[in-house]
Structure 1
Amino acid sequence: MTTHTTRPFRIGLQIQPQHADYDRIRRAAAEAEDMGVDILFNWDHFYPLSGDPEGKHFECWTMLGAWAEATSRVEIGALVTCNSYRNPELLADMARTVDHISDGRLILGIGAGWFQKDYDEYGYEFGTAGGRLADLADALPRIEKRFAALNPAPTRKIPMLIGGGGERKTLRLVARHGDIWHGFGDVEVAARKVEVLDGHCADVGRDPAEIERSVGVSGSPADSADQLAELGITLFTVSTGGPDYDLSTLREWLAWRDSRNG
């Protein structure tokens, strides 16, 4: 399989906002920006996803507003916003506001939602996976319509990152609305998802080269980076959690990026 694009390789860091005080999260973000990371992500949950389920945790979008002021170069975003937690028009307005605060560095990451504890504890209806995907399909054009109506308008076309690997529904939504697709899995899984996404792009008349391909990675880039790059994937995101926020794996991936970008 050949690559679809000549995009430069980029490295993201997801700073998981769990099991840490906020000053440590702030320092991790500053250190990663100084190291040269391209994108800083958090996530949109209300409780930790690992470790003590009642451990320290902070909210996503208020944190992105703070990061917009505390950083100066990196793009920022959620990996990913849960569509269920906010009215689509409100989310568009929030994204536009953080876009302006950051001077045009926001990526709007969004997905259908999956973590039932968040829903139950905060009073959202969990429903079914199909229902949550239908809600996402309804929300995406509403977000786009609200972006067009806001005054002032966003500083740029805010990139829409859609997370998920569902082959019949999620990847079709990416083909229609996404600027970035984000998935997980090994090289074999990624190859399958890329093939399916290309097929959906053909079905809806979209040039697949318009969509940046992104994956979450762990371990050394020697294990998978070149093989993933051959699939046309150009954005690789490392995750790190509190309380320590170890950035050693990030450092390896930044070195790989620099060696490939020249």
Structure 2
Amino acid sequence: MRIGVQIQPQHAAYADIRRAAAAVEEAGADVLFNWDHFFPLTGDPDGAHFECWTVLAAWAEATSRVEIGALVTCNTYRNPELLADMVRTVDHISAREGGTGRLVLGIGSGWFERDYSEYGYDFGTAGGRLDDLAAALPRIEARLGRLNPAPTRHVPVLIGGGGERKTLRIVARHADIWHGFGDVDTIARKHAVLDDWCARLERDPAEIERSTDVAGDPAEGEALHAVGTRLFTISVDGPRYDLGRVREWIAWRDEKNA
């Protein structure tokens, strides 16, 4: 099992965000996430906020071990071919001494209407945005296969969302990691639905790591672990980025993995 930490890039100076990223890596987390929005999601809606992929490129230089990614990139904010090139570039930036990169491509269909309206994107409908995601992923995969230089490794694809008719079908076809939301019973049901989509598409469900957010203490992780969750992500908000809970979850991970 693994521990992720989402540093929310809001209500903080970039220096605070960078220090938090370094502290997360030093604490021993497996994955360091931000998110792909243009405005804060909590607190002052017009508070300080930084762009996702610029931050990821900076983290690629500022860290050396932890994997990095967005939880999650909004598919419709960038042309799929451009996003593939960004993915490849950050993958290379994050590689050390000729090794493999550390980027995870977290991606979803998008939902925050203010991002769309203020940046001039068509918000459309939830179903339409999912259709756009399904159409974009093959284009991203194709472009990654044509870039020179190629990515340093197969960049893991994390898809976020829990829709059982569309999203989990997309996950079964394209994802290495599925990130879902809900209580234990909800997560267990969606694991079963994802397994069914994998069977229909002739995909081994064991190839897809199961991931979710956690907000309490590590005791809540036991039931989620029992139903198959293996990546647990704690979110921390600026400007102080308290990592106390993160360290508790990392200690629990080490006990489970011993």
Q: Per the alignment, in what secondary structure is the counterpart of residue 163 of structure 2?
A: coil
Alignment correspondent of 1:19: 11
* Residue 136 of structure 2, aligned match among 139, 152, 164: 139
Q: Which residue of 1 aligns with 2:243?
A: 247
The aligned counterpart of 1:75 is: 67
Secondary structure class of the residue paired with 1:233: coil
Partner of 1:169: 166
The offset of 1:131, in angstroms, is 0.6
| Residues 1:108 and 2:105 aligned together | yes
Query: Is the contact made by 1:13 and 1:250 (CA closer than 8 Å) also made in structure 2?
Result: yes
1:156-184 CA deviation, whole Å, 9 max, x = no partner?
00000000000000000000000000011
Cα distance, 1:61 vs. partner?
A: 0.1
Aligned to 2:98: none
Partner letter of residue 204 of structure 1? L
Q: Which residue of 1 aligns with 2:204?
A: 207
Shift of 1:221: 1.1
Deviation, 1:186, is 1.1
Which of 105, 111, 117 pairs up with 2:114? 117
What is the deviation of 1:84? 0.8
SS in 2 for 1:44: coil
Structure-2 residue corresponding to 1:3: none
Aligned residues: 253
* Alpha-carbon distance between aligned partners in 2 of 1:57 and 1:236, rounded to the nearest angstrom: 25
1:185 & 1:247 partners in 2: Cα distance?
A: 23
Unmatched 5+ stretches in structure 2: 96-100
Long gaps (5+) in structure 1: 1-8
Residue deviations 1:134-173 (CA, integer Å, cap 9, x gap): 0000000000000100000000000000000000000000
RMSD between aligned residues: 0.5
CA distance in 2, matches of 1:212, 1:231: 12
CA distance in 1, matches of 2:257, 2:134: 35
Are 2:212 and 1:220 aligned? no
Aligned 1:2-41 pairs, distance under 5 A: 9-41=1-33
| TM-score normalised by the chain length of structure 2 | 0.97
Output the CA distance in 1 between the equivalents of 2:77 and 2:60. Answer: 21
- What letter corresponds to residue 119 of structure 1 in structure 2? Y
Is 1:194 aligned with 2:204?
no
What's the CA shift for 1:114?
0.1
- Look up the equivalent residue of 2:56 and give its one-letter code: L
What TM-score comes out, normalization by structure 1 length?
0.96
Identity of aligned residues (%): 72
Q: In the aligned structure 2, how far is the partner of 1:172 from the partner of 1:216? A: 21
The offset of 1:185, in angstroms, is 1.1
Q: Verify: 1:50 aligned to 2:42, yes or no.
A: yes
Query: How much has 1:243 moved relative to structure 2?
Result: 1.0
One-letter identity of the residue aligned with 1:85: Y
**C-alpha separation between the residues in 2 aligned to 1:251 and 1:195?**
31
Counterparts of 2:210 and 2:145, CA distance in 1: 26
Distance 1:198 1:15 in 2: 30
Residue equivalent to 1:238: 234
Distance 1:25 1:204 in 2: 41
